[in-house]
Structure 1
Amino acid sequence: MALDPQARAVIDLVIKSGRPPYHQLSPKDARQLFRETRPASTPAPPEIGVVRNVMTEGRRGSIPLRVYRPAGVAATTPLPGLVYFHGGGWVIGDLETHDVLCRQLTAGAGITVVSVDYRLAPEHKFPAAIDDAWEATRWVNASAAELGIDASRLAVGGDSAGGNLAAVVALMARDAGSPAVTFQVLLYPVTDLGAETRSYTDFADGYMLTRDSMRWFVAQYLDSKDQAADWRASPLRAATLAGLPPALIVTAGFDPLRDEGRAYAKRLGEAGVSVDDVCYGGMIHGFVPMGRLLDSGNRAVSHIAASLREALLRKELAR
């Protein structure tokens, strides 16, 4: 499939702007660039109900969370919940950069979304982000009634590095026997930090996320290359994927991460897990929240919201 003309226009816009690639910046400057450029591609936020910031205590300190509720629902009404982990290579991104996407999923799926502001590298190396993601998910499960969440209908999700965290949390929950994660939404996830697939080579440069930037993100995150063999860094390397909740995996055709995302979907299916493996062939990495510029981003958000509704409603009907 050819590169979508709208994606080509976005790439040309970035080239024309002279924006430096992330791997040429300090982590501080990369974070600032991401915050400053994000709104240009983000659609107007939909109307929702209450949004509030809360803090929870993890094993190594407080974890900021943002809780989103749909409009017209009483605070005491328990709804399905989604714990969401933002993308950004474990180095950039925060509650603000993914605020509109969380509002879209709240409105579209009619659920409570909890966005997690986990610690970032290189100040906090692996497995700090995993520790925060796991602690936050456990806290949301324990605090479900207060948050207006039905703990029996809890999903995890994330994009890119956040998709990596969501996949690992689902594995940890399976192994621990709790929380009872019902569904996972993995958007162009990082699943293997120790291998570079063909898509790394085919789309190494010129398609927004570059191979050099991915290598830089991984170097910021890991203390050593040996850590890439740890399944908490590379969920594709987990001994078994059997017993995991159903998954929606969204990938992009012109993305260095395409092949490892699809490989994870394949392994899930082989393990007997129900998987909706959707590749937007003409798209680039990070397209889902870019609905102001990319029609496929809006279509993907609608698909994700519908998948959440279907998975969590099916859980409700089965009770």
Structure 2
Amino acid sequence: MTLDPTIRRFIDGLSTTVPPVDSGQAARTSHPPRGAWPQTPAPRVALVRDLEIPGPGGPLGARHYHPDPGQAALPAVVYYHGGGFVFGDLDTHDHICRLIAARSGVVVVAVDYRLAPRHRFPAAVQDAFTALRWVGDNASALGVDPDRLAVCGDSAGGGLAAVAAILARDGGGPELAFQALVYPVIDLGGYPVRPGTPYESRISNGTGYLLTSEGMHWFAGQYLGDPRDATDFRASPIRAGDLSGLAPALVVTADFDPLRDEGEAYARALAAAGVPATTVRINGGFHGMFGMGESLPPCRQAEDVVTGTLRAVLSRTRCPD
């Protein structure tokens, strides 16, 4: 499998203009700098408003997307943005949340969780779970059906979504109908990468495709206060002792992504624990492709898989217990 020439040119062009994530320049700015990605048209959503959620470290920013406020309560997705636990915010992923709300017909609540290195692990996890519980508790005011609630996220946010699903199972809810994990960060252990890693993609895709294994080592160092924290399932959900009883899952991976193998390993672990889990690998895909389908057509497949699955799964009325 080879990269689409359009994507190859995009990656090569961005690699020459954007500093590596493990550089001092990148650490002082958003990464990649705003404007570096293709300008992606944002779908229209009927209601978009900023919210504040009481959080463990102070108020959390959030953004509420409702595709049809006149409708009865709709299914909802709590969304966690990517950025290696260091970068990203409500604005960097605004177009993705609009896309999900518009194409899936669901309410989306995006969470502006605390970022490292100012706020190290487990601050982001605490914020992610607090926000999920708040959405469940305030479903009526948000126009949300609490029986059709899902979590979703990309990259670091995909890892947070996976952890939030475990915490919801163990912490008294809310009960989730689904989890959609887009090239998630599943295991923060094993950095720096060495021969013999259980995740071969960390070597074969470790350089040349925007996200690098060296960059992931840097992200892990920024996020974790102690490297031993990587053994905690809240940092590395694949290390959870028990994955049974979790919400059904979609795990989307990308062919040319150092995180590909750990995402697929997590889907296998979920399935082994009896959790309905589907893996979709985007052939020719790369880390960061989600949300760029309008500008880079080969990326559209990832969006279609996620939005189509959310629409199909969450449109079903859950059977009474």
Mark the runs of 5 or more structure 2 residues left unpaired by the alignment. 194-198
For residue 181 of structure 1, give the secondary structure of its aligned residue in structure 2: coil
1:128 maps onto 2:123 in alignment: yes
Instruction: Report the equivalent of 2:220.
Output: 218
Q: Indicate which of 46, 50, 68 corresponds to 1:49.
A: 46
For residue 162 of structure 1, give the secondary structure of its aligned residue in structure 2: helix
1:33-84 deviations in whole A, cap 9, x for unaligned?
A: 443323x2x42111210100010111221010000011x441x721100000
Q: Using the alignment, how far apart are the partners of 1:126 and 1:80 within structure 2?
A: 30
Most deviating of 273-282 and 102-111:
273-282
* CA deviation after TM superposition for structure 1 residue 198, in Å: 1.2
Q: How does 1:198-217 map to 2 (within 5 A)?
A: 198-217=200-219
In structure 2, relative to structure 1, the CA distance for the partners of 1:238 and 1:128 (3 Å cut) is same
Q: Using the alignment, how far apart are the partners of 1:294 and 1:218 within structure 2?
A: 29
Most deviating of 300-309 and 168-177:
300-309
Normalised TM-score (structure 2): 0.94
- The amino acid that maps onto 1:318 is C
How many residues of Structure 1 are paired with residues of Structure 2 in the alignment? 313
* CA deviation after TM superposition for structure 1 residue 157, in Å: 0.6
Normalised TM-score (structure 1): 0.94
Q: Using the alignment, how far apart are the partners of 1:293 and 1:8 within structure 2?
A: 14
Mark the runs of 5 or more structure 1 residues left unpaired by the alignment. none
For residue 135 of structure 1, give the secondary structure of its aligned residue in structure 2: helix
Contact 1:22 1:30 in 2 (8 A): no
- The amino acid that maps onto 2:65 is Y
Q: Using the alignment, how far apart are the partners of 1:140 and 1:259 within structure 2?
A: 32
For residue 258 of structure 2, give the secondary structure of its aligned residue in structure 1: coil
In structure 2, relative to structure 1, the CA distance for the partners of 1:292 and 1:309 (3 Å cut) is closer
* CA deviation after TM superposition for structure 1 residue 133, in Å: 0.3
- The amino acid that maps onto 1:103 is R
Q: Using the alignment, how far apart are the partners of 1:289 and 1:149 within structure 2?
A: 24
- The amino acid that maps onto 1:140 is V
Q: Using the alignment, how far apart are the partners of 2:147 and 2:318 within structure 1?
A: 12
In structure 2, relative to structure 1, the CA distance for the partners of 1:151 and 1:271 (3 Å cut) is same
* CA deviation after TM superposition for structure 1 residue 283, in Å: 1.0
For residue 59 of structure 2, give the secondary structure of its aligned residue in structure 1: strand
Q: Indicate which of 155, 158, 165 corresponds to 1:163.
A: 158
* CA deviation after TM superposition for structure 1 residue 30, in Å: 3.7
* CA deviation after TM superposition for structure 1 residue 32, in Å: 5.7
1:110-134 deviations in whole A, cap 9, x for unaligned?
A: 1100000000000000000000001
Instruction: Report the equivalent of 2:105.
Output: 110
- The amino acid that maps onto 2:319 is A
Instruction: Report the equivalent of 1:35.
Output: 34
Q: Using the alignment, how far apart are the partners of 1:217 and 1:24 within structure 2?
A: 11
CA RMSD of aligned residues (A): 1.5
Q: What's the % identity of the aligned pairs? A: 46
Instruction: Report the equivalent of 1:100.
Output: 95
Instruction: Report the equivalent of 2:315.
Output: 313
Determine which structure has the larger helix proportion and give its number: 1
* CA deviation after TM superposition for structure 1 residue 317, in Å: 5.4
